[in-house]
Structure 1
Amino acid sequence: MDVSCDLEVDVNGEEVFIVDKKIISSYSGRIRKLFSKLTGGAKSLKVIFHDFPGGAESFELMTRFCYNNGKVEINPLNLSLLYCIANFMEMNKSVSGSISLLEQTEKSLEEIRYWTWSELLVALNQCQDLLPVANSSGILIKCLDSLFGRLALGNETSPCPSISSTDSFGIRFSCDTRSTESLKNSSFRATWWFEDLVAFNPNLVEMLTKSMVSRKFDHVIISRFLFYYQKSRFILATSDEKRKISETVVNMLYSLDQNAISCKSLFGILRVTLNLNISKCCRNKLESMIGSQMDRATLDNLLVPSPIGSNCLYDVNLVLRFLKSFLGKGVSCVPLVQLKKVSSLMDLYIAEVAPDPCLKPSKFLALVRALPDSARESYDGIYRAMDMYLEVHARLTEEEQIKLCCGLNYEKLSSEVCNRLAQNEKFPSKLAIQALFSQQCKLKSLLTETNQTKPFIDSPLSFVDIDTKGKEDESCEQIVVYAGKLDLSAENEKLRAHLQGMQWRVLELEKDCRKMQSQMTKIMKSRLSSHSNAKSLPRLCS
């Protein structure tokens, strides 16, 4: 073969090759098109490629094929590279009876089902360096399909057969032992491929995840792989690489069933991305996923340090956004069990952030009011947190204190806490008296209900009607409850026990009423004496 060097080829700025234009163009349709309209006898010809797949090494492999009369050894280790070269250079023409490079690689690709796992991984690793040609040519999709088939086959499990209730204990015990081992083996079968795919770049992982989702792959396994991938790749990654990895993982997790995602792992990603400056869209997705699982969170999860530049200890705004996502579809759409779990968690969180001297009253009140009143059965925890907050923020005006305490529901405070509030000088006097009045109303309501449900009491119940315009010295009327003649026959034993229990409850309520009245009298005397010019208090409860 006569060889001349009349064509200069610059490959991606990596290296310059001097080749025979006639030989290369005979195999490459792309080169032929470049010079088909060329007229005249130009002495110097040059071609510059900026996106040649595989770079200078790949171009050298192509020239060997051309100079060797269209012959080259094709195997799984170089198939992806040769296939992309054949597509990019349009090498689909047979020369001198030899089969074109594209035909040869397509024929070899048909044998992909016989490749070993290692060979398939090599081919995929080559594909990720050959984008976008590997994607447009279709070889990447074929490799991913083959990979998915291997994963689906490897995830098949053989659980222990069900044992009927008539089987002996010995058989059940044997099966339980085998089941334990089976669970371990099943877990290994489901995750054995994690380490092998860690080498893939984020773009390839994104394509793989989308393929798995479209093929109904187990979302739990997918989410576990994504968390594993993020953790493993972070070890040696730069800041920019970490940002790209995190955004890919979050976007892919967002496409999964949220019930299949670990809440703890989501908080792990949140903490490592705090200073990575990930996109706002990605951060919103992450916060939305966490918010939807607030009932699975713990107090430690929520104690996220505040952003740089903020004086607060913890990022309260972040937690408020979590709660907004949690209630995103409306309170009526949230199961009551989950609502109460989040309520208990928030009571702990509010108590934890309350001593922060930099926490503004508006933010504290926003935390208290973030959940609907129906979420809490008791406001005792909120009172204790508010007590700590007022102790740290002693310089708040009375108006600010009253506004802050609007977050309390006095009807859901226990009698013990109401008594403490009434004697707590950190709370405004109006609120202390309001708490006592609320308890008076609650007692009156209970006594009224009891009176309406007991036909055995001959005389009606009496309840003190407190007027704060000067009747604070009056003592509470004694409540007299007694039972009439009861049928003590065997048939009415249950009724008798029930009635006696109700009678005992009424007597206990009477004692609480007298005790509360006494406390109210003392408090009003002490506080009204220091506010002699204050206006009369309104009648809050009758």
Structure 2
Amino acid sequence: MKFMKLGTRPDTFYTEEATRSVISDIPNDLVLQISNINYHLHQFSLLPKCGLLRKLCVDSDDSSTVTIELHDIPGGEDAFELCAKYCYGIIINLSAHNFVSAYCAAKFLRMTEAVEKGNLVLKLEAFFNSCILVGWKDSIITLQTAVKLTEWSENLGIIRRCVDSIVGKILTPPAKVTWSYTYTRIGFNKEQQMVPKDWWTEDISDLDIDLFRCIIIAIQSTHMLPPQLIGEALHVYACRWLPDTTKITRPESSGSQTDEVTDKHRKVLEIIVNTIPSDKGSVSVGFLLRLLSIANYLGASTVTKTELTRRASLQLEEATVSDLLFPSHSSSNQHYYDIELVAAVLESFLLLWRRTSPAPTESTQFMRSIRKIGKLIDYYVQAVARDVNLPVSKVLSVAEALPDSARKDHDDLYRAINIYLKVKRKLYVIYITKIKSSSPVQQFNNFQDPMFFMFYLSYHIDHVFLSSKHSCVRLLKQKHPDLSKGDKKRLCRNLDCQKLSPEVRSHAVKNERLPLRTVVQVLFFEQEKGSYEQTTRSAGIPTTPAPSESSARDDQKMKRPDKKTQLEEGKKKGGERRNRGDRGERI
């Protein structure tokens, strides 16, 4: 950082109560009132250099003390004191941190060449042009301090010249960058590596959002940098100033200070969204989804949410499961994950996908795209299915949204359903164990878990007081950790047994968590497939089984059971399920 030192005399200003004065043998004859401070100074020191003070004192009597109010001086008492010390020849140090206030105050006091040759304004302009604008960080610091005096800085051209200087350095080829910059990426070593293309992104993230937008817009207008670099700058700024919603599960309590912070965050978010380049891929889909989560948390405008949803849906096939996992910020939701966010983006993607009529040469690419989305959503459902508070309706809202063509097979969908049923059943067993084995005191402590409390009421009402058909019991069972038969049927109604691999079908037949109807469908398909293969072999028609099926038969070295045996096994398992009832399903 560059400095300019003016003056030679030591500092002789002192404070006495609310008065600032200077040590001198000559009596004070000039009183300047700034805010709540009175400056007792001398006309012979200030008037030769300050055109404004000279004009205000022109009609005063030389023998009297003149009192002048300067409450509207830019920069306040600190800026005035710099100018006053300069008039007394006292040493002052100027840098990018105090240049703006000193320059505006000097302009206000008219410390120009017209008043005295080599006056303060001329020296400050020379320092600005030869030192501040030449430096990278000096320009940024000066621009940031100009926020406090925006109107003066704009009128004097400080903001425009700083922005031009910063943009010019950003457009400099990395090989020609010789100045110091901030770059804290993990694994980067300035001494051993070349200057990265995004070397400038962290330093400009220190700026106020309005100044940051000015720089980004100026860069975009040159068309000299790729959209991805501009997108990276927006990403760095968002990480610096926006809240991390992955670490916030519920909205903070309201208050004047909180509302002010929220409004500031909302402004930053909306400016970032409006500044994102229109080019697809200028920012990652993970960044867009994070912005959408922040928009939901901050209560951003519908326009902002819609734009983020649209942009994220255009790049959804680039997403990973971790990109989709955000906590819910709604106080009414007991489940952890924000399913509505993913459902909205998926709906936008499918709407665009259905509207697009692919040419015959492009149909393969479109199918590959929708299949990739199908895999992504099934993996996502597997991840969120581990949330014990997740209702069936939320699972179905994303699992059922996909068209049939999105899934080449239903193995991943089956795994998601199985995980969800296993988690629900496991919690059911845990709660039953707590009720039957814990003491009354322990049960009272368990009531801190609202879900356990609802289950406790449901269990005792169902077994002691009321019929299971009573509306109160049905209401309580909505909070029941285990699933009803109807919910299990709804969960499995989109599961196509014909699209399950042999290994998954083998697991499904033995899965006691599945509804009986689904198991029977799997057995029926196995039977039909076995009959078809037997018929083709009898007719001498060669069959080419899938590699997985062939290897499974070779490993097992055994024949499939005949039709009669399979039907008997199905009836036997069905009878066992009916005898056991819901309580008989084990993990």
TM tier, smaller = 0.5 to 0.7
One-letter amino acid of the counterpart of residue 214, structure 2:
M
Deviation at 1:4, TM superposition (A): 9.0
Q: 1:140 to 1:529 in 2, by over 3 A?
A: closer
Of 190, 213, 219, which residue of structure 1 is paired with 2:220? Answer: 213
Note if contact 2:132-2:138 (Cα within 8 Å) is conserved in structure 1.
no
What are the equivalent positions in structure 2 for 1:261-340 lying under 5 Å apart? Answer: 261-262=283-284, 278-281=298-301, 292-307=314-329, 310-324=333-347, 326-327=349-350, 329-331=352-354, 335-340=366-371
Deviation at 1:374, TM superposition (A): 1.8
- In the alignment, the residues of structure 1 paired with residue 509 and residue 136 of structure 2 have an alpha-carbon distance, to the nearest angstrom, of 74
- In the alignment, the residues of structure 1 paired with residue 289 and residue 206 of structure 2 have an alpha-carbon distance, to the nearest angstrom, of 24
Of 191, 197, 217, which residue of structure 2 is paired with 1:190? Answer: 197
Q: 1:506 to 1:319 in 2, by over 3 A?
A: closer
Deviation at 1:53, TM superposition (A): 3.2
One-letter amino acid of the counterpart of residue 10, structure 1:
I
Of 146, 150, 155, which residue of structure 1 is paired with 2:174? Answer: 155
Of 493, 501, 508, which residue of structure 2 is paired with 1:414? Answer: 501
What are the equivalent positions in structure 2 for 1:506-521 lying under 5 Å apart? Answer: 517-518=563-564, 521=567
- In the alignment, the residues of structure 2 paired with residue 53 and residue 44 of structure 1 have an alpha-carbon distance, to the nearest angstrom, of 19
Deviation per CA, 1:51-89: give whole Å up to 9, x if none.
x53222223445678999xxx9999786644554467x4
Note if contact 2:133-2:162 (Cα within 8 Å) is conserved in structure 1.
no
- Give the TM-score of the pair, scaled to structure 2: 0.56
What are the equivalent positions in structure 2 for 1:71-82 lying under 5 Å apart? Answer: 80-81=100-101
Q: Does 1:222 align with 2:213?
A: no
Note if contact 2:101-2:149 (Cα within 8 Å) is conserved in structure 1.
yes
Note if contact 2:140-2:207 (Cα within 8 Å) is conserved in structure 1.
no
Deviation at 1:134, TM superposition (A): 1.7
Note if contact 2:382-2:415 (Cα within 8 Å) is conserved in structure 1.
yes
1:260 maps to which residue? 282
Of 326, 344, 359, which residue of structure 1 is paired with 2:390? Answer: 359
One-letter amino acid of the counterpart of residue 567, structure 2:
T
Deviation at 1:140, TM superposition (A): 0.5
Q: 1:200 to 1:428 in 2, by over 3 A?
A: closer
One-letter amino acid of the counterpart of residue 381, structure 1:
D
Deviation at 1:145, TM superposition (A): 0.8
Q: 1:301 to 1:416 in 2, by over 3 A?
A: same
Q: 1:416 to 1:332 in 2, by over 3 A?
A: farther
Deviation per CA, 1:19-40: give whole Å up to 9, x if none.
89996998459x98xxxxxxxx
2:492 maps to which residue? 405
1:55 maps to which residue? 76
Deviation per CA, 1:399-426: give whole Å up to 9, x if none.
3322222222344223553455455443
Deviation per CA, 1:460-508: give whole Å up to 9, x if none.
xxx9xxxxxxxxxxxx8686424xxxxxxxxxxxxxxxxxxx6233999
Q: CA RMSD in A?
A: 5.6
Q: 1:148 to 1:90 in 2, by over 3 A?
A: same
Note if contact 1:112-1:146 (Cα within 8 Å) is conserved in structure 2.
no
Q: Does 1:375 align with 2:406?
A: yes
- In the alignment, the residues of structure 2 paired with residue 436 and residue 212 of structure 1 have an alpha-carbon distance, to the nearest angstrom, of 65
Identity %: 22
Which sections of structure 2, spanning at least 5 residues, go unmatched? 1-25, 57-65, 178-188, 244-256, 357-364, 426-481, 579-587
Q: 1:249 to 1:57 in 2, by over 3 A?
A: same
Which sections of structure 1, spanning at least 5 residues, go unmatched? 33-42, 159-180, 448-462, 464-475, 483-501, 533-542
- Give the TM-score of the pair, scaled to structure 1: 0.60
1:503 maps to which residue? 542
Note if contact 2:48-2:115 (Cα within 8 Å) is conserved in structure 1.
no
- In the alignment, the residues of structure 1 paired with residue 268 and residue 99 of structure 2 have an alpha-carbon distance, to the nearest angstrom, of 28
- In the alignment, the residues of structure 2 paired with residue 290 and residue 10 of structure 1 have an alpha-carbon distance, to the nearest angstrom, of 54
Q: 1:518 to 1:233 in 2, by over 3 A?
A: same
Alignment coverage as a number of residue pairs: 440
- In the alignment, the residues of structure 2 paired with residue 59 and residue 155 of structure 1 have an alpha-carbon distance, to the nearest angstrom, of 41
Deviation at 1:397, TM superposition (A): 3.3
2:434 maps to which residue? none
What are the equivalent positions in structure 2 for 1:22-171 lying under 5 Å apart? Answer: 27-28=51-52, 46=69, 48-49=71-72, 52-61=73-82, 80-81=100-101, 83-85=103-105, 89=108, 91=110, 95=114, 115-117=134-136, 119-155=138-174
Q: 1:81 to 1:254 in 2, by over 3 A?
A: same
SS in 1 for 2:542: helix
Note if contact 1:24-1:63 (Cα within 8 Å) is conserved in structure 2.
no
Of 502, 505, 522, which residue of structure 1 is paired with 2:568? Answer: 522
- In the alignment, the residues of structure 1 paired with residue 498 and residue 226 of structure 2 have an alpha-carbon distance, to the nearest angstrom, of 48
Q: 1:220 to 1:339 in 2, by over 3 A?
A: same
SS in 1 for 2:337: coil
Deviation per CA, 1:302-327: give whole Å up to 9, x if none.
44444485433433334334434544
Deviation at 1:208, TM superposition (A): 2.2
Deviation at 1:378, TM superposition (A): 0.9
- In the alignment, the residues of structure 2 paired with residue 519 and residue 135 of structure 1 have an alpha-carbon distance, to the nearest angstrom, of 89
Note if contact 2:489-2:515 (Cα within 8 Å) is conserved in structure 1.
yes
SS in 2 for 1:329: helix
Note if contact 1:9-1:19 (Cα within 8 Å) is conserved in structure 2.
no
- In the alignment, the residues of structure 1 paired with residue 152 and residue 562 of structure 2 have an alpha-carbon distance, to the nearest angstrom, of 82
Deviation per CA, 1:331-380: give whole Å up to 9, x if none.
56595444333332332232233343322111121131233322211111
- In the alignment, the residues of structure 2 paired with residue 228 and residue 401 of structure 1 have an alpha-carbon distance, to the nearest angstrom, of 45
Q: 1:302 to 1:103 in 2, by over 3 A?
A: same
